[in-house]
Amino acid sequence: MTEDSQRNFRLVYYEKMGFRGVEEKKSLEILLKDDLLGILPPHHESHAQVMAYRREQYSDILHALRVIRFLGPSMSQVEVYLRRYQLDSGKLPRSPSFPLEPEDQVFLAIAKAMEEMVEDSVDCYWVIRSFVSQLRKYRDALPLLPKAFEQYLNLEDSRLLSHLKTSSALSKLPNDLWFKNCFAGCLPESSLQRVWDKVVSGSCKILVFVAVEILSTFKIKVMALSSAEKITGFLENFPQDSSGAIVSKAIDLWHKHCGTQAHSA
């Protein structure tokens, strides 16, 4: 088993912060990426107190959202996370009935996936918040990923790319699901963690190679479909049992084409 297959995006940061025990990891989920954002104090002795403050802050904000009637009993947990984040970032709409922005939809998709990875709701919120903040650093790079996908697919399988163009499917691929959502809602948790490991470590280009490997893995099926709608429909809901192998091959492809730091982002 390779090193990549044994790790997930959370363990990288636990190790950077000096945490090794399983119980410590469980209780310190809240500290996942805040260390990268410079929010945590440098001394580990104060981390427990910071965690307590974070929990108190989280409860206070939820109470405020209930008072102004932005939270309701029928809301899902991921919707609660969204309202909390909107208030935290100064983007709470004037009314809870206002339609969601595209960035809100991305947040919800990521939050739903993260909810499956982190048990504690308070910890989960801070992990989501930090992950979304990391994605904002790729604001200029993410729109370029569909073109990079076309470039690398052409290198790996030009015939498959030609079929996508001929069937008019290239412009209708699920790019939002793949690149904006970072495959949240597309890959199962175990595979998603390995992809997000690369994303939070500094390379959003891993998303391109996952997309390339999805096409390569299901080449026979895709080549047999002649309409853009059928191809897109299949790619949005491809069989999950191949996800582990797809991600492993995508990581290998990432190393092949982006082996140096200068080309990894």
Higher pLDDT, 120 or 209: 209
Average pLDDT over residues 26-37: 42
Question: Cβ distance 25 to 14 under 8 Å?
Answer: yes
Among 14-23, 95-104, 151-160, 188-197, whose mean pLDDT is lowest?
Answer: 14-23
Mean pLDDT of the region 55-83: 93
Q: Is the pTM of this model over 0.75?
A: yes
Contact at 8 Å (CB) between 222 and 215?
yes
3-state secondary structure of 178: helix
- To which CATH superfamily is domain 142-263 assigned? Ypt/Rab-GAP domain of gyp1p, domain 3 (1.10.472.80)
Q: Using DSSP, state whether 148 is helix, strand or coil.
A: helix
Q: Locate 66 and state its tokens.
A: 């209930």
For residues 25 and 9, is the Cβ–Cβ distance under 8 A?
no
Which helix (H) or strand (E) is 126 found in, with range? helix 121-136
Angle at 163 between CA 161 and CA 166, to 5 degrees: 115
Tens of pLDDT, residue by residue over 78-137, are 999 999 999 989 999 999 999 999 999 999 999 999 999 888 898 889 889 989 988 988
The CATH fold assigned to 3-136 is Helicase, Ruva Protein; domain 3 (1.10.8)
> What is the helix (H) or strand (E) element at residue 84, kind and residue range?
helix 77-88
Task: Encode 72-109: b = buried (16+ Cβ within 10 Å), e = exposed.
Answer: eeeeeebbbbbbbbbbeeeebeeeeeeeeeeebebbbb
| Alpha-carbon gap, residue 207 to 261, rounded angstroms | 16
What are the residue boundaries of the structural domains of the chain, listed by start?
3-136, 142-263
